[in-house]
A and B are shown apart, each in its own frame.
Chain A
């Protein structure tokens, strides 16, 4: 029952609706329902946020270590170097997301041409 398991036009949309829409909007609707009942400092929410953060971080690392498409043609050291440089720039230049992205891209594109 994977994304390309059923050869019908509606299957990808059903897949996106169930695995995408239902899996995200359920949490949003639950959030409206709970309203102010749960405290932002509640211990359960610390755990919830930690699991969510670790999961998204794993996605980020996998996109850098095992990328698809054109990015896969670049050496791992270059991708890793660009990401580390970008993150260091983000931390050093007042936590500006734009600075982190710009430095990572500059290092990556510079390295791409330097390596030929």
Chain B
């Protein structure tokens, strides 16, 4: 319906509000729903770790990317120092950089101010990124930052509320329900990580990481994530170079 007239007058406040609200509405979609289910699981995980509800909601707001938060919780559980924790989280979040690099040219026009892009980049995580790249086609270029502000902002706000509510209800759950909740986070990542792979090397890296994680958990407690990430990642990259050389004529 609205796809036919994306040529709105630039700077029209009425149309800006409309595109912002369309961004908000895009948060209520299947990927948005799946993300909520993963955050339900995260609320249970954070509570079991001993975080307070305020700390948990604060973490959702300031970190946002779910893999980074799960790594941070893992580091807290293994009594890692603040520096080791920051290093592990930073290593798990490098992927945010190329994602932002890919998204920025789609949102930027000559009139876009840099601080707007820096602010909006905070909302970048797998779900909002996938949704934005999918919907931007139907959004006029000068309204894309507005649209993404609505989409990203709503996703963050929504899940901060979800986490607060689930955290408070989790006590009254029977054991099978809270066990099933904890299974949501690994299942969400197992499937969405496989689906988001850009090249086969990422699938190789994922299989290696799945195998090496538990092995290093026993052999190198405290450094298990770093060891599995670096060894699995470099091995997958080596495989990538080797496979490409063989494919070359």
Contact string against A for B residues 82-97, beta-carbon threshold 8 Å, 1 for contact and 0 otherwise: 1101111111111111
* Chain A positions 27-51 with a Cβ under 8 Å from a chain B Cβ: 27-32, 34-38, 40, 45-51
**Interface, chain A (partner B; CB < 8 A):** 1-5, 12-32, 34-38, 40, 45-71, 73-74, 79, 82-83, 86-87, 90, 95, 97-98, 100-101, 104-105, 108-109, 112-113
Does chain A have a CB within 8 A of B12?
Answer: no
A19 touches B82 (CB 8 A): yes
Complex formed: what's the CA distance from A102 to B186 in Å? Answer: 13
Stretch at the interface among B2-10, B68-76, B156-164: B68-76
Instruction: Kindly identify which residue among B91, B178, B183 contacts A82, using a CB–CB cutoff of 8 Å.
Output: B183
Q: How long is the Cα–Cα vector from A22 to B217 in the complex, in angstroms?
A: 26
The CA of A108 and the CA of B175, in the complex, are separated in Å by 13
Q: How large is the interface on B (under 10, 10 to 19, 20 to 34, 35 or more residues)?
A: 35 or more
A-B contact count (CB 8 A): 331
Bound form: Cα–Cα A97–B91 in Å: 25
Top 10 closest pairs, chain A to chain B, by CB: A31-B100, A57-B209, A51-B233, A58-B213, A55-B229, A54-B232, A54-B209, A69-B48, A58-B228, A19-B85
- Residue numbers in A under 8 Å from B155 (CB-CB): none
If the complex has contacts A15-B82, A31-B104, A112-B179, are A62 and B217 also in contact, measured as CB distance less than 8 A? yes
The interface stretch among B14-22, B136-144, B191-199 is B191-199
Tell me which residues across on chain A come within 8 A of B216, comparing CB atoms. Answer: 58
Docked Cα-Cα span, A18 to B195, in Å, equals: 30
Separation of A30 and B44 alpha carbons in the complex (Å): 32
Additional A-B contacts beyond A57-B193, A58-B228 (14; CB < 8 A): A4-B50, A20-B72, A24-B93, A31-B101, A49-B198, A52-B233, A55-B232, A56-B92, A56-B193, A59-B71, A61-B214, A69-B48, A90-B190, A100-B191
